[in-house]
Structure 1
Amino acid sequence: MKRIKIGLVVFPGFQLLDIAGPRDAFGEVTVLSRGECEYEMLTVGTTRGTVQSSSGLTVTPDRTIFDVCPEFDTIIVPGGLGIFDTYDDPALSEWLRQQYRRVRRLCAICNGLFALGPAGLLDNRVVTTHWMDVPRLSATFPKARIEPDHIYVNDGSIYTTAGVTAGIDLALALIEEDFGKAMALDVAKYLIVYLRRAGGQSQFSPLLESQAAPGSQTQALQHYILDNLQAEHTVASLAQRVHMSARNLARTFIKECGVTPITFLSNARIDAARRYLESTDLSLREIARQCGFDGTDALRRVFARRLQINPTEYRERFRTRNAAPAGRTPRDDEAKKPASKKTQTAERGVSA
């Protein structure tokens, strides 16, 4: 029998699914291999006594970071809102540093990777996390190299994932490393999940968070862009509209919005296309035309590059039950809303 020992760290306020999901995936290996392969899993608390998860359920850890622990092959640190009260605990940081020198893999799910930062384990590492935590991660640990759209990433022996259910994606990847693709696929089938999910986090997070200050020239230009996506815009043409030089517009736009005017335009076109796919029966050709793409091939290329999924698959996955007929678009409904809402179609965490 091949046995692999895994330590699951638990702290007050941890996300229960971050350990329950991987634990169930690992547990199926024993069942499906008829006992030939096994993961031995132990919970390790950052405090003594029972540990309450963010959902209110409690776990009694098998060990704590203050106890003598067995030699783990893999350590997994879950996420959860409680991580922000725990991640800079010196005792946890020292324990993680020691484990890093001993284990084959050190994994963090969702914002659990914040615990790796004070231990010095994120410096110059390629990592990912939940899209909502990317700005905070970047500000807190600027030496980390963040890939905000990935479901999971491994850089050497450090493995990091996006939010919550991405822990199952990670578990399947580890099972494939340990026991082969066939076993990982069998576990995925049993759990009724994809072995490898198509697309990245951009499928789930808002795309345009680059809103300018109310009443500013930049906001007026954003409204103009959102209302005229089909036009052939350039930095020069946009600058002329607000009576600025192209250089001054680019500088002002980046300062106020965090992206260039052309990046904002690109993001806006993708976001509009997504809304059409989710809520109308419009053809891909018509969606491409209304959003300013140079035909359906261009629309497909952009979706593949930015969202790692094609438009047809996106529509099948996210289409609403009450899609508008082809003669009506999401813009028709938006036109009834106050103008100040027009830029609230944004999606976080994705750059050009």
Structure 2
Amino acid sequence: MKSTSVRTVAAPGIVALALTFSACSAGNADDGDAASGSNDLAGQLAGGGASSQEAAQAAWIVGFQEANPDVTVTFDPIGSGGGRENFISGAFPFAGSDAYLTDDEGELTAATERCNGEAPVEIPNYVSPIALIFNVEGVDELNLAPETVAGIFAGEITEWDAPEIARDNPDADLPSAGINAVHRSDESGTTENFTHYLDVVAGGAWTAGAVEVWPEEFGGEGAQGTSGVVSAVKSGTNSIGYADASQAGGLAVANVGVGSDFVGPTADAAAKILDVSPRVEGRDDSSIVFDLDYETDEAGVYPIVLTSYLLACPTYSGDEAEAGELTKAYLTYVVSEDGQAFGAEEAGSAPLSDELRSEVSDLVEGITVE
């Protein structure tokens, strides 16, 4: 599912997330749960990866550090590919990714080697809709069929009043103006999830497959990171792009065709996709990853989603023992009931179901530090 490409590896901790949430808000969480069982933790923990996780990670960092004031956590939002690369190299003790590890480029094998021969821990930390954000003059609401979305981003549908768009928006005052389609210019798990959706539901209109790097032949405007796409759409005229809904920045978002309905990118609608999606077969017990059912016609399901994952090793020892202890504590908070609720409240992410959260928590609890 991943394209062959060269990744740029950034040193950990270059960018520390701004902690913009108030300490009193973070303090609403139960201190015992948020503390992950200890108030004696101290040190620095530097991870990074998917920029789509930026808002949620900022919330979790606040909640965790409120209960553990002697720990400094940073998350460098360098993108999923960079996060996986830094985890595999050992630069990050944990990473965030919007795509699970595979051996299409040898990443799963390399991550196993990095974890001293043990299969890495891969756990979902939240589900988030990938919103189709738009800034179109005179248009506040927009319905788009899957084939129309594919046609827009493949550069085949180029005008806002095109018949394919007008058909599903009979009451909209669509301008006779060109479409500025904005995509990620960097290697991106969000792009991979978005293009995987297009490949499955609109293969006739989308011919590039599922890719992490945008196909140059489809054109459009490129922007670095999630924040770059949001900024480009916000400042552009008659623009549309794709971004994690938690970072949509107040922009209008399109409803996407599902069966005979059009569904908006709410957290609840996105979370429902895991209820209709199977697990990926043939994975190790330490891996909880999903084969998303993009073609579902289940009522109320928003299908363009990313399931964000956390990567860690099942065992940390030697020079990594301190980082391993902090990783286990931090991940324990992230997947706790309080952590999931705080992330949903502050970042708009869809929390894991109680059943899935319990399963994920058991995997984190099984991480050992020697």
Question: TM-score, normalised on structure 2?
Answer: 0.29
Which of structures 1 and 2 has the bigger CA Rg?
1
More strand, by proportion: 2
**Normalising to structure 1: TM-score of the pair?**
0.31
Structure number with greater CO (CA < 8 Å, separation at least 6) is 2
Which one has a larger percent helix, Structure 1 or Structure 2?
Answer: 1
